[in-house]
Amino acid sequence: MKALRDTVFIQLDDESNQTASGLYLVKTWDSIPPTGTVTAVGPDVKDVKVGDHVIFMQYASIDTDEADIRVVKEEHVLGVINDKE
């Protein structure tokens, strides 16, 4: 897949879907973590780059056929998370 214009492709962070007691939870929009790693950016994207760990508006994202990949417009990326701070 190739990102166009101001779109950003985000690989969702891998969250365990099993509780401490061993129950498995079904993934729904409410449980999708709003963070992930940028895997591709369109040519008009200015503030994020591939490899950035970002937080984004989960309801503004579009699901893809690829596992755990979301597509958002750059304006829906809320910030870059610096894990080293």
Burial track 28-37 (b if 16+ CB lie within 10 A, e otherwise): eeeebebbbe
- Residue 57's pLDDT band, with cuts at 50, 70 and 90, is confident
Model-level pTM greater than 0.95? no
Say what the pLDDT of residue 24 is. 63
CA dist 29 and 63 (Å) reads: 10
For residue 35, being part of any structural domain is answered with yes
Q: What is the domain count for the chain? A: 1
Cα 17-19-70 angle, rounded to 5 deg: 20
Domain assignment present for 67:
yes
Q: Give the Cα separation of 49 and 24 in Å (integer).
A: 34
Which tens digits make up the pLDDT trace of 13-52?
Answer: 876 566 667 666 666 655 556 889 999 999 999 999 999 9
- Domain enclosing residue 34, as ranges: 7-14+30-78
The reply to whether 63 falls in a domain is yes
Give the C-alpha separation, 72 to 8, whole Å. Answer: 5
